[in-house]
Amino acid sequence: MSYRSLALVVSAVTVAMLAGGSAFAQEQVAKTVVGEQMLGAAIAFGLAALGAGLGLGYVGAAALAAISENPKIQSRVFIFIGMVESIAIYGLVVVFIILGQ
């Protein structure tokens, strides 16, 4: 994993933690989100994004090697890449579940 992608994940988690409820500060919200929920949501999505990034690195490298040997399997390779990217989407769903309670 490159340091650039690690720095991107860390900065995204930091922004998510710091900008928690300040984006909609002018409207009244009946339910407030406590700090523990924001921290849990940030950690959940950060780890999901980190795992998806690591997995995509391995799968992407193997996919390029496989496509270079046999170009006919390109559509199958894209299915595997989509499966790896879905991990980050699952993390986002968990964030909505945590913040929606």
pLDDT tens-digit profile of 58-90?
Answer: 999 999 999 999 999 999 999 999 999 999 999
Arithmetic mean of pLDDT, 7-29: 56
Q: Give the structural domain span for 94.
A: 3-100
Helix/strand/coil for 97: helix
Q: Is the pTM of this model over 0.85?
A: no
Looking up tokens 């998806």 gives 52
- The structural domain count of the chain equals 1
- Write the CATH number for 26: 1.20.120.610
Q: Compute CA distances 61 → 1, 64, 95, whole Å.
A: 12, 5, 29
Compute the distance between CA of residue 83 and CA of residue 58 in angstroms, rounded to an integer: 13
